[in-house]
Structure 1
Amino acid sequence: MGKHDAEIAHLKSQIKILIQAMSKMSSGGQRLSSVRQKLSQIKGSISDTSWRGQRRNKFTQKYQRILSSLSSNISHNHNNISTVQSKISELQAEIARLEADNND
């Protein structure tokens, strides 16, 4: 038994948790992208000529706020996934270092 086995096991369990979290974030990001696409389809199916004045302006403002919020959430989701991927890489490098130290 190596001197770092317990630490390696702990790091591997952390990686497993991070991979599960990343999978959930990825699924969530796909759902957000789907909502954004459906929102664009809705906007495209509405004729601008049937909306006039204040009703059209209010709809456009709400639509833009929702679209902006979705885009922001999608961006944050991608950033979070990248952060988790980086952390996984760091932990894998630490495991490799500890395993090499075990073999010495």
Structure 2
Amino acid sequence: MHLATTQARLKLVSIVGMEGIGKTTLAKEVYAKLQCKFECRAFVTLGRKPSLVATRLDILHQVKPQGTIPLNGTEAPEMNQVVTELREHLVTKRYF
């Protein structure tokens, strides 16, 4: 598949707003309705000071439960390691 064709098909939706207005509830409803249309899917919520490594590990373990990077190890994995495994796993899949 040509890279430009792949990029044209990618979509991103951001939900922003003040605390307590139902952003997470809205996101969960959309996820619940659309998740069956995707081969791989993950749902994560972020706090005020999210850990990028932990967030990406959470995504990896949701889309690839048999992932080779441990979720609760004594040593934090490198960001590149997590990104590489995610990218390799999702490259041929439709994901949400």
Q: TM-score, normalised by structure 1?
A: 0.24
Higher helix share: 1
Larger radius of gyration: 1
Q: TM-score, normalised by structure 2?
A: 0.25
Greater RCO, CA 8 A, separation 6+: 1
